[in-house]
Amino acid sequence: MNIQISELKANPVKYFDLAKTVDIIVTNHGQRLGRIVCEGKAAKLKKLNTFDELMHCLKTMPSIPDNTIYDANKEESLREMGLF
């Protein structure tokens, strides 16, 4: 639903109540200024976006190289050489 900003200013409670069931797009001279959405819908979208970002991080995170795993024999060799 589109409304002019003047309508929102005149009766904000009406449009915030209406936003519980439908998105309200606020315009000024035909230009979109913003959107009023239900808090529950916004929270759900935020959770989905956060999950998508987490999955993207997991998919793009480099794996741990094999040589970074603790090796007791390697440590002992380094100790014998005086490097550890």
Chain segment 7-66, per-residue pLDDT in tens: 999 999 999 999 988 999 999 999 999 999 888 888 888 999 999 999 998 888 877 766
Edge to edge, what strands does the sheet with 24-28 contain? 2-4, 24-28, 31-36
Mean pLDDT confidence for 64-80: 80
Name the residue with higher pLDDT: 67 or 47.
47
pLDDT of amino acid 2: 94
Domain residue limits, the chain: 2-80
pLDDT of amino acid 84: 74
pLDDT of amino acid 52: 92
Closest-CA residue to 35 (of 7, 62, 3):
3
For 33, the enclosing helix (H) or strand (E) is strand 31-36
State pTM to two decimals. 0.52
